[in-house]
Structure 1
Amino acid sequence: MTDPEMEVTEMSKSKYIKLILILGSLTALGPFSIDMYLPGFAGIARDLNTSVANVSMTLSSYFIGISAGQLLYGPLLDRFGRKKPLFIGLLVYIFASLGCIFVQDIDIFIGLRFIQAVGSCAATVASIAMVRDLFPVKDIPKVFSMLMLVVGLSPMLAPTIGGYVTADYGWHTVFFILMYMGIVILIASQIVLPNSYLPDTSISLKPKPIINNFLNIIKEPQFYTYAFAGAIAFSGLFTYVAASPILFMDIFKVDAKTYGWIFAFMSLSFIGASQLNSLLLKKFTSEQMIFGALISQAFVSILFLILAINNYLGLYETIGMLFLFLACLGISNPNTAGLTLAPFSRNAGSASALMGAIQLGLGAFASFAVGIFVQNSVLPMVIIMTTSTLLALIILIVGKKRIKAAVLINR
């Protein structure tokens, strides 16, 4: 439906940068919605007469919503093009954010966060699919690394801004800001983004063809190897995000503003590593980068576990280990995403949706586990991270043996 090589050839540098910024903003909407309200957990629990652990379930419901919603938008983006489903999804996000401003009950809040997630994931799926539409396959990991730079600003800015907004104006104001962001992104995406993919009327929206399409995608060895290895490894990030309010504010007793700055500092690791990835791709293949990153992540997580078991972890030691752990994810994630989508062109929307659903579904599971097990100790968080890392490495090693002819993205 598109010719990415021709698109990039004809694209001016200013248009290229503008496109990256818009796609990055779409991708960052979800992380902002996750990170910005984290400093308000204690205030939300107090205002809604519940516990911080129950408030963390609003994070789990968000992950579940964004995971399920990806499967909804994938076929819609392939059938109707990218912009119409994106418009509808952002409208849903805006109205759900408005509801969160006035919520008075934790159960309703959990439900609204689910709806908000369903809306926001249209932006995530559309942005990933448009990367596959507009750029040559060999450039996809580099584009994803640039998107990581934009996306990486969200965990730097979101909790820091959220901490100050929550302290000075209350947590409700956070959702007013998110609603306004949704409005701005909706307008910008409709005006600036090109129609990168023509509607494909041959794609059926009946349940059976949709399921068969997803089954055909997931049967591709290159897809399931890199999608599951990448998603399980990346669930360590969701574990950290879900555990961080409990970890820093309850266990280590830092205030909301300090928590925001810690979260911002930690994101430097992910951003820096994702940009280092662009440079390393000039010398190494994506396959080599993924394997090296997962080996490093396994070493870091095992060391982290040993320190946690022996009670050697204070605030600064915990920050240091998490910093190293997130750096490994900054290397592996752009490459696993690129290799996962490389075999697909016609149904890139469905492939990116399925990849996102797997990633966010596992993230939801990890955050749910955090809500149950992480109460007054660092150890459960570290156990979840170590388990997911080792499992991802096993899947990568076993799965690569089943890939007969890989669709490569560099070299």
Structure 2
Amino acid sequence: MLSAFGPMSIDMYLPSLPTLSRYFTAPHLAVQLTLASFFVGLSLGQLFFGTLSDRFGRRRPLLLGLILYVLTSAGCALSPSIEVLIGLRFMQGLGACAGLVISRAVVRDLFTPKEAPHIFAAMILVMGLAPIIAPLMGGYLLVWLGWQSIFWLLTVFGLFIFGLVYLGLRETHQPTAEHSLVISKVLRRYHALLLDRRFMAFSLVYAMCYGGMFAYIAGSPFVFIDLYKVPANSFGWIFGANALGLVVMSQLNRILHRRYTAEGILQTVVIIQLLAGIVLFIIGYYPEISMFAIMLPLFIYVASIGLVGPNATALAMAGQGAHAGGASALLGAMQFTAASVSAIVIGSMVMHSALPLGMTILGCAAVAVVGLRYARKLQDPALLMKS
């Protein structure tokens, strides 16, 4: 449930993006900044909560983050202007990130590197169900009760999860003074992670894969609702179909692991993502093309994340041990930095076709391929020397 915080907070209000633009008389870029600021909060907050969870254990920092999430979600519902909403979304992201970063660290606390991909795949299942349900709920809430009701529901969701954690989650990491909060020591630990080339290579693959996904999240409401005139309460069905593909692929991951390694699966899937990006980029040059032609490469790209996510996460986290909180934080920070950049890039371009969406997804897929190629070279010293 903690891993659903991001998708619920992002996907539920996607159908309302064009409505927010009209409600606040704000340009598309300003509305996209409500999404980008949430990503920035997720990114920066993970570094903070990752450090706290290594120092004080998992429970207390998690409960602190959930309290912040509940308060800021209620504030979003009461926002009097787009500027206030942008600021509160940043703070909401800070609270939401506690669930994302600490849930990954708990998996690292409890499971071996061999078991972890299966557990991350189960988390992807929950993360995949949320994008199926959230836009559908958001679309109907928008039509029936207005955009504010979406944030009131997120407030209730945060309170519910707070109760579950308080009553049902035991501590999985004993607090230790070894993880000092002195800023210089914290920075040294993150510096050591930045110098870990294997960790950074797989983290880059993970981050760019999700950068492309968040380009889709930021751009698809305007492509389908504004350009193709899909009703807001029907948009969730399109979004949910793609999320369903992600869920199916994440569960297929368990079967594939019986015959293939995590790295072998990644090598194939990132190429598939690159091909989907190329097709979407080409289609974007033809504004008159059918909506269904755009949906197919988008479906392939989003569904394949169900295979990239758990394998790249497990490979990045495999050697981190007692520093799982910090490693999970940096991994998440890279993910949502890529997401923030993608959302800003999409928001800064005029959406007359799917071309901005295709261009951004293709760029992310290409960088992911390069990152994985470098990770493979780290396995073979001869190739690394040659490069």
Q: Counterparts in 2 of 1:301-380, with a 5 A limit?
A: 301-311=277-287, 313-380=289-356
Question: Would you say the 8 A contact 1:225–1:400 is kept in 2?
Answer: no
Partners of 1:310 and 1:40 lie apart in 2 by: 27
Match of 1:218 in 2: 194
Any unmatched runs of 5+ in structure 2?
382-387
Distance 1:226 1:374, change over 3 A: farther
Q: 2:168 aligns with which of 192, 214, 218?
A: 192
Question: Would you say the 8 A contact 1:250–1:376 is kept in 2?
Answer: no
Deviation at 1:244, TM superposition (A): 1.2
Deviation at 1:41, TM superposition (A): 1.7
Partners of 1:234 and 1:223 lie apart in 2 by: 17
- Matched position secondary structure for 2:114: helix
How does the TM-score come out when normalised to structure 2? Answer: 0.96
Q: 2:117 aligns with which of 141, 153, 156?
A: 141
Question: Would you say the 8 A contact 1:246–1:374 is kept in 2?
Answer: no
Which has the higher mean CA deviation after the structures are superposed, 104-113 or 186-195? 186-195
- Matched position secondary structure for 1:309: coil
Q: 1:283 aligns with which of 233, 237, 259?
A: 259
Deviation at 1:49, TM superposition (A): 2.4
Question: Would you say the 8 A contact 2:283–2:294 is kept in 1?
Answer: no
Q: 1:129 aligns with which of 92, 105, 122?
A: 105
Match of 1:20 in 2: none
Match of 1:56 in 2: 32
Q: 1:88 aligns with which of 64, 67, 74?
A: 64
Deviation at 1:101, TM superposition (A): 1.2
Match of 1:22 in 2: none
Deviation at 1:309, TM superposition (A): 2.6
Q: Deviations over 1:261-304 (max 9, x none)?
A: 11111111111111111111111000000001011111221122
Partners of 1:142 and 1:266 lie apart in 2 by: 21
Partners of 2:328 and 2:289 lie apart in 1 by: 38
Deviation at 1:222, TM superposition (A): 1.6
Q: Deviations over 1:379-408 (max 9, x none)?
A: 011011111111110121123213469xxx
Which has the higher mean CA deviation after the structures are superposed, 294-303 or 181-190? 294-303
Match of 2:384 in 1: none
Match of 2:134 in 1: 158
Q: 2:18 aligns with which of 42, 46, 53?
A: 42
Question: Would you say the 8 A contact 1:31–1:154 is kept in 2?
Answer: yes
Question: Would you say the 8 A contact 1:221–1:403 is kept in 2?
Answer: no
Deviation at 1:312, TM superposition (A): 6.8
Q: How many residues align?
A: 381
Deviation at 1:310, TM superposition (A): 4.6
| Residue 261 (1) aligns with residue 245 (2) | no
Question: Would you say the 8 A contact 1:243–1:374 is kept in 2?
Answer: no
Match of 1:11 in 2: none
Structure 1 letter corresponding to 2:207: A
Partners of 1:126 and 1:208 lie apart in 2 by: 23
Question: Would you say the 8 A contact 2:283–2:354 is kept in 1?
Answer: no
Q: Deviations over 1:293-340 (max 9, x none)?
A: 011111221122223235573211111110011122211111000000
Deviation at 1:52, TM superposition (A): 3.6
Match of 2:77 in 1: 101
Structure 1 letter corresponding to 2:93: A
Match of 1:28 in 2: 4
Match of 2:87 in 1: 111
Partners of 1:167 and 1:369 lie apart in 2 by: 29
Partners of 1:397 and 1:71 lie apart in 2 by: 27
- Matched position secondary structure for 1:73: helix
Aligned CA RMSD, in angstroms, stands at: 1.3
Q: Deviations over 1:350-396 (max 9, x none)?
A: 00000000011111111110100142210011011111111110121
Partners of 2:288 and 2:259 lie apart in 1 by: 38
Question: Would you say the 8 A contact 1:235–1:363 is kept in 2?
Answer: yes
- Matched position secondary structure for 2:115: helix
Deviation at 1:229, TM superposition (A): 1.6
Q: Deviations over 1:158-182 (max 9, x none)?
A: 0000000110011101111000000
Partners of 1:45 and 1:327 lie apart in 2 by: 29
Distance 1:310 1:167, change over 3 A: closer
Partners of 1:353 and 1:81 lie apart in 2 by: 14
Question: Would you say the 8 A contact 2:287–2:354 is kept in 1?
Answer: no
Match of 1:401 in 2: 377
Partners of 1:305 and 1:110 lie apart in 2 by: 30
Partners of 1:235 and 1:84 lie apart in 2 by: 30
